[in-house]
Amino acid sequence: MNCLIVYAHPNPKSFNAAVLKTVTDNLSATHTVQLIDLYADHFDPVLRFDDDHKRRDLTSDPATKRYRDLVTWADQFIFIFPIWWSGMPAMMKGFIDRVFVAGFAYHNTNTGLKGHLNGKAWIITTHNTPAFITPFAQDYGKVLKGQILKSCGIRPVKISQLTGIEKNSDQERQKKLAMIAQTAKTI
């Protein structure tokens, strides 16, 4: 299986980095894995529309061609990012805005969006929201699942929310990483 990991965290020593390492260490060796580390790539998240940048041209933007090729290549998507202020990092949002574009990832129909992509996804988010509030909180992991990936044809989509990270002990963090390792082994 072709696994594409899309990762967004600016600190290479963060808990998110530990999540990324846990995922990559526990995916089956039979999979081919590619990583898009948006911060390491210095991805430009800014979507521009002006005389030189037309919305209709996003499907052929040379700056995002490598990313579109990887998205098309993938059978399994794994998104890893923190939730900040109830949203995904601007880097991840910019990636979605610039790569998952009309004409490439989907097109509009009279009854809604028709997805062009295939595969399944696993979204791993970290945040400090207490676990008991998580079901009620606006969470861009849920937005990515229900309003973006599914609309683009990617199904099923699983979400793993790692909550209360800032206050977790090292032992609690290790338990969360063990859970991620178990899930990664099943892909």
> What is the per-residue pLDDT for 29?
97
Structure-token pair, residue 29:
């060796």
Is the CB of residue 122 less than 8 Å from the CB of residue 183? yes
> What is the per-residue pLDDT for 34?
98
* Cis status, amide bond into 156, omega within 30 of 0: yes
Angle between helices 65-73 and 90-99 (to 10 degrees): 80
CATH ID of 2-185, from 3.40.50.360, 3.90.1300.10, 1.10.287.70, 3.10.129.10: 3.40.50.360
Point out the residues of the chain with pLDDT beneath 50: none
Domains of the chain by residue range: 2-185
Q: How many CA atoms lie within 13 A of 164 on its CB side?
A: 13
> What is the per-residue pLDDT for 56?
78
Report the C-alpha gap between 145 and 155 in whole angstroms. Answer: 9
Cα–Cα nearest to 6, from 96, 115, 102: 96
> What is the per-residue pLDDT for 187?
96
pTM reported for the whole predicted model: 0.94
Cα–Cα nearest to 104, from 147, 141, 61: 61
